[in-house]
Amino acid sequence: MNLKLLSLGVFSAVSVSPFLMPSFTPKAAAGCVAVDVAAQVAVDGSRTRSQSNNVNQRFDPNCSGGSVTSVGNQVCVSTKCEQRRTSNQSVSGNGGYNTGGRNINIKVNPRVHVYNRAADPNFLNKR
């Protein structure tokens, strides 16, 4: 009899625990989100990279619920590539519903430079 009661008690605790767990875990809270994704690809005859990507992300005080996304790509195939990019993001949201969470800023900005000796005007002179 005690084994049946113990089994019933364990079963009851296990079956109810998924409903009790959310009350023990802290809630996720976020302010605002800014995402910048930009790729720069250069295939040229220069051995030095000439690429820059400047990203500024600003959040209003007490920002909550706002989001902004910026996407940009630059591709250059030439004898000499110069790539310059500036992105300014400003995020505001409903401060009246501030969750107290942190603002999230994400920057994904790969820069790829490939030297192409066929595009180098001075390649034959360097040998």
- Put simply, whether the predicted model's pTM sits higher than 0.75 gets the answer no
What is the spatial distance between Cα 61 and Cα 73, in angstroms, rounded to a whole number? 31
* Residue whose C-alpha is closest to residue 112's, from 40, 56, 58: 40
List the helix and strand counts (H, then E) for the chain. 1, 6
- Please report the pLDDT score of residue 15 as a whole number: 62
pLDDT, one tens digit for every residue, the chain (127 residues)? 566 655 655 555 556 556 655 666 666 666 899 999 999 999 999 999 999 999 999 998 888 888 999 999 999 999 999 999 999 999 987 766 666 678 999 999 999 999 999 998 887 776 5
- Please report the pLDDT score of residue 123 as a whole number: 76
Using alpha carbons, list the distances in angstroms from residue 90 to 21, 63, 73, 100: 37, 11, 20, 19
At 23, which helix (H) or strand (E)? helix 2-24
